[in-house]
């Protein structure tokens, strides 16, 4: 197993449950990858950004709740537009607060019957009109991705950008939603029980002969450009840096766990207050806010450009996997598959990967 994040830990857990001996190699000095939660004076915060668990997959939900106690939590997001705090996704019933409402109302009445999927910008503008797009999305997207929104694929907006008229304030509508009472690190550590785990050990394709036996299955959850030492060139990634601040005399700082900041004069994209996920902490003094600054070298988000340049390079790396005949190589998770997926989708990939191995390599 290459990588001890949520995906790798889930594959390892399932294979161990079926009697396999699993060795896990992780380049960091801790397990958990991007989902690892940290704590300060009993308050949780997330060094790699907000992670909210939600799924309609009963098998996935049963798995995570076997390994950690999840508390009910319905995630809500707000967006700051000048002095206004609006719900995100945007609700038609709140838009009259905006000074631009008369123009917005006209644009909404003139929307096409189906969104224009040419690129991210055309999709969003055809979904909510130019004025709302310019107020709430264009500048946020420019900050988040470091590029013109027209150069992004419309797939970035699919299931992430919408205009609601039902007053449902929760970001997600999944049947199962929650947050682990003790954070995500406990979940990953539990999944890795009974595995041989090597920390501080980066692995590339040149190391496989040293750490595996011929025919032994290898699951890769690290980015393929790292696994292949960027032999075909680097994949494009977008990373974030979290600037955390402890406020000792504040119970809760903002109206929701996440507040989006679309104003270009604000250098961060959003402010995160993880404490919102744990209601029993809401009335205790002390909270931590995290300002998310985009544009680092970390590999948090694959970049789905509208010319598919990055997808083409990912395919080249995936094809290289098939040329390795000594060991069957499989990929799973956001980094290795270069896909912008949620946690439950990563776990589903992990379960399917483990099932494939048990069926084909008993």
Q: Kindly report, residue by residue over 52-66, the tens digit of the pLDDT.
A: 999 999 999 999 999
CB-based contact 11:33 (threshold 8 Å): no
- CB under 8 A, 24+ apart: contacts of 265-269: 267/143, 267/293, 268/243, 268/292, 268/293, 269/140, 269/143, 269/144, 269/240, 269/293, 269/294
Rounded to an integer, what distance in angstroms lies between the CA atom of residue 300 and that of residue 207? 25
| Structure confidence at residue 159 (pLDDT) | 80
Q: Residue 95 phi/psi, 5° resolution?
A: -70, -20
Structure tokens at 178: 């929650």
Rounded to an integer, what distance in angstroms lies between the CA atom of residue 273 and that of residue 92? 26
Rounded to an integer, what distance in angstroms lies between the CA atom of residue 330 and that of residue 223? 12
Residue pLDDT tens, the chain, 362 long: 999 999 999 999 999 999 999 999 999 999 999 999 999 999 999 999 999 999 999 999 999 999 999 999 999 999 999 999 999 999 999 999 999 999 999 999 999 999 999 999 999 999 999 999 999 999 999 999 999 999 999 999 988 899 999 999 999 999 999 999 999 999 999 999 999 999 999 999 999 999 999 999 999 999 999 999 999 999 999 999 999 999 999 999 999 999 999 999 999 999 999 999 999 999 999 999 999 999 999 999 999 999 999 999 999 999 999 999 999 999 999 999 999 999 999 999 999 999 999 999 98
- Cα dihedral across residues 128, 55, 9, 12: positive or negative: negative
CB-based contact 123:115 (threshold 8 Å): yes
Residue 339 buriedness (CB in 10 A; 0-12 / 13-18 / 19+): middle
Element (H, E) at 210: helix 208-211
Residue 69: count of CB within 10 angstroms of its CB: 11
Estimate the crossing angle of helix 6-17 against helix 184-191, to 10 degrees.
40
Kind of pairing, strands 43-45 and 163-164? Answer: unpaired
CB-based contact 269:292 (threshold 8 Å): yes
49: region left, alpha or beta (phi > 0 left; psi from -120 to 50 alpha) = left
Rounded to an integer, what distance in angstroms lies between the CA atom of residue 191 and that of residue 7? 10
Rounded to an integer, what distance in angstroms lies between the CA atom of residue 149 and that of residue 98? 23
Of 238, 217, 199, 211, give the one whose Cα is nearest residue 335.
238
Residue 107 buriedness (CB in 10 A; 0-12 / 13-18 / 19+): middle
Q: What mean pLDDT is reported for the chain?
A: 97
| Structure confidence at residue 362 (pLDDT) | 86
| Structure confidence at residue 137 (pLDDT) | 97
Rounded to an integer, what distance in angstroms lies between the CA atom of residue 233 and that of residue 83? 45
Which residues have C-beta within 8 Å of that of residue 92, sequence separation ≥ 6?
A: 108, 163, 164, 165
The model's pTM is 0.95
Of 36, 95, 4, 54, give the one whose Cα is nearest residue 343.
54
- Residue pLDDT, tens place only, 96-107: 999 999 999 999
- Residue pLDDT, tens place only, 293-316: 999 999 999 999 999 999 999 999
CA angle 26, 27, 28 (to 5 degrees): 95
| Structure confidence at residue 177 (pLDDT) | 98
Rounded to an integer, what distance in angstroms lies between the CA atom of residue 314 and that of residue 308? 10
- Residue pLDDT, tens place only, 151-178: 999 999 988 899 999 999 999 999 999 9
| Structure confidence at residue 97 (pLDDT) | 95
CB-based contact 354:11 (threshold 8 Å): yes
């Amino acid at each position: 197993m290459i990588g001890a994040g949520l995906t790798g830990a889930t594959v390892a857990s399932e294979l161990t449950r079926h009697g396999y001996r699993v060795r896990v190699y992780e380049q960091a000095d801790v397990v958990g990858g991007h989902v690892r939660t940290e704590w300060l004076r009993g308050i949780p915060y997330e060094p790699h950004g907000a992670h909210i668990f939600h799924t309609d997959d009963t098998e996935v939900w049963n798995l995570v709740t076997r390994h950690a106690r999840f508390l009910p939590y319905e995630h809500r997001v707000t967006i700051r537009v000048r002095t206004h705090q609006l719900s995100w996704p945007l609700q038609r019933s709140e838009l009259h607060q905006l000074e631009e409402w008369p123009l917005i109302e006209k644009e909404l009445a003139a929307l096409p019957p189906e969104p224009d999927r040419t690129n991210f910008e055309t999709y969003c503008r055809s979904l909510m009109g130019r004025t709302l797009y310019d107020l709430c999305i264009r500048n946020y997207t420019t900050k988040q991705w470091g590029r013109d929104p027209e150069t992004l694929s419309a797939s970035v907006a699919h299931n992430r950008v919408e205009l609601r008229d039902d007053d449902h304030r929760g970001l997600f509508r999944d049947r199962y939603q929650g947050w682990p009472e003790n954070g995500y690190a406990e979940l990953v550590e539990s999944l890795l029980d009974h595995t041989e785990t090597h920390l501080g050990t980066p692995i590339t394709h040149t190391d496989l002969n040293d750490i595996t036996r011929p025919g032994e299955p290898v699951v890769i959850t690290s980015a393929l450009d790292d696994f292949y030492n960027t032999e075909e060139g680097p994949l494009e990634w977008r990373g974030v840096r979290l600037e955390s601040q402890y406020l000792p005399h504040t119970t809760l700082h903002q109206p929701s766990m996440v507040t989006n900041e679309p104003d270009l004069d604000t250098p961060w994209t959003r402010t995160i207050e993880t404490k919102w996920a744990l209601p029993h902490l809401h009335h205790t003094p002390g909270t931590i806010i995290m300002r998310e600054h985009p544009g680092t070298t970390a590999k948090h988000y694959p970049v789905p450009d509208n010319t598919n340049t990055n997808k083409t390079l990912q395919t080249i790396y995936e094809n290289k996997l098939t040329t390795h005949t000594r060991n069957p190589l499989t990929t799973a998770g956001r980094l290795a598959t270069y896909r912008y997926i949620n946690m439950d989708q990563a776990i589903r990939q992990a379960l399917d990967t483990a099932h494939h191995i048990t069926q084909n390599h008993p």
